[in-house]
A and B are shown apart, each in its own frame.
Chain A
């Protein structure tokens, strides 16, 4: 593999080259993407450790515990999407088998929590109440935790002895 190809692989993976020390998205940043229900919305999320006397909040088995700070602009009133009153933030495992309601949110900055999955998705839906037991309304925003970017390298040429 050439250096150029490697660089392309790195860039596709969202990586930066060694000399790049600019302050960009880090291990706590989540880009949130709007669905067709909410054209024009701009949103992102940032993970912050849940309060802990150790500075780093983890579960007894070592999973990080985060609060999620969500910043959004351009969200329409939920009622414009149907019989809904609020937007609710959910965390789900990548296989969608486990869901956790984190709280409700609106335009501006909202902090909800906690989430302690190793890898997870953030999904924001319009709901009839702020405390539904399960998702029922339409999805308006979604994103992937930074840990979700972890990829296998076992098929990479490096492991076939190219380098």
Chain B
């Protein structure tokens, strides 16, 4: 690993001053899915990292219980104090030391008008260095929250002042950009809902709900520790076996018959891609990361990779209960078969009182967003230009257990384009950022990750082609996130996108080639990385320098 790359990995995946937990035993074994068995060659092994959990052994009962997220309405010029702190969470009847912003999980829901600028005074009261990254917000570069690129890490006990300007309407989120595999997974995340001044920006609905999804990996009564020196679960990322909506294991909503609900969905899980639906209730997708779609569409479900957001409207036509479910097809690699897997994340209870007003007619109308079409039309002349830059996504293993290497050699007849669940939890657990290097490779120079020297002029429209190599040691989908800019997915595998939307995070399945058009309008040094926290912690990041005009 090059020195520059090592420094970056140290911030995202390597040991930090203030970490504790040296004497903690590594939990064994990790939970295995039903019907799966651990390879004999892996039994008795533990990841070569020092186990770490928040708090360094503090009694959880001495900490405040985590509170649900509270709505904070802010106007231009307002100031928010945001404190990362230790909290007590009770999960499956067991008390754990975890993290929260202002004692809340998720952190405060910040609701602001578009074009407002707020001041956030961030205090770090946890036991790791931290920062706050304002995901998707086209912010001034120095407030982007990336240690080593835009600021120094905020040490425990220190603070930092952010000025956050909201250029675009929609749903955004904030989270640390230091050891995301720990800090984000332990509860440091929250939403920002930015209101457009246009009254009819969205269709009228009976209700709005902001939902943050994440997961947590635990045994019956313990959390699975993290790696102190760097992430474990480096192959696939840490996929939890307990699902949360807004920090709770079961989401509940009560509405009247015929109600139309607008859901603002955010995936803050480290690695999980969701496939969400509401027991057959009709779903209309309206918007994603940084804008509305050109045209609203009916969808059978909502596919959402880590860090992506979608805004959907759902109508509940009949009295009764609708499950809010994540339904995927898992692969049992040992038996070579698919297996349907359904997690009920919550319930929507619909009573027999008719919803008023009745928005059925508006719900049944699929709107065309002329403003979005006009905005994107300015970029269409660039759609067919040759790529300005081509990246390949791959992996380089080094020193994994022999049984893992041998199994991966054999089990390469088929890799699913998207791994929805952890089909090999033991192998995954035992892989650390020291043994797995995830790579963004510049095809023109052969340079990798932070060694890539990528400069463009402010105001340029950059076409980036990314290929996810299916023939690497362990190919996997990557949700690629670009900070501080917006981008369009103009084609996938040569097929033009039929309905465009501005994005900041794009899922790239195994074997896929995706053409992105970047509106490089915001000057500064901007991270581009995989948003699977363990892949980021294993090096999968680079920087786009947008040089001022």
Contacts and interface: CB of A to CB of B under 8 A. Distances in A.
Interface in B247-306: 275, 277, 280, 285, 288, 293, 297, 299-304
Interface residues of A, number: 51
B93 interface: no
Interface string A122-136: 000000000000000
Nearest to B420: A62
A158 B514 CA distance: 37
B405 A18 contact: yes
**Which range contains the number of B residues in contact with the other chain?**
35 or more
Given A20-B471, A55-B506, A56-B417, A63 B412 contact: no
Contacts of B299: 52-54
Contact of A163 (B39, B341, B497): B39
A64 B331 CA distance: 13
Contacts of B469: 21, 23
A77 interface: no
A154 B41 contact: no
B336 A151 contact: yes
Contacts of A27: 414-417, 470, 510-511
Interface stretch (B82-90, B222-230, B488-496): B488-496
Contacts of B509: 49, 56
Interface in A104-136: 118-119
B286 to A, nearest CB: 10
Nearest to B404: A163
Contacts of A118: 329, 338
B531 to A, nearest CB: 15
B377 interface: no
B45 to A, nearest CB: 12
A161 B402 CA distance: 12
Interface in B332-366: 333-338, 340-342
B524 to A, nearest CB: 27
Q: From B293, B405, B414, name the one whose CB has the most chain A CB atoms within 10 angstroms.
A: B414
A62 B406 contact: no
Given A24-B471, A150-B338, A151-B413, 4 more contacts: A27-B414, A49-B509, A51-B495, A61-B327
Interface of B: 37, 39-41, 275, 277, 280, 285, 288, 293, 297, 299-304, 310, 327-329, 331, 333-338, 340-342, 394, 397, 402-403, 405-418, 420, 469-473, 489, 492-493, 495, 497-499, 501, 506-507, 509-511, 514
Interface of A: 6-7, 9-10, 13-18, 20-24, 26-28, 48-49, 51-56, 58-64, 118-119, 146-154, 156, 158-163
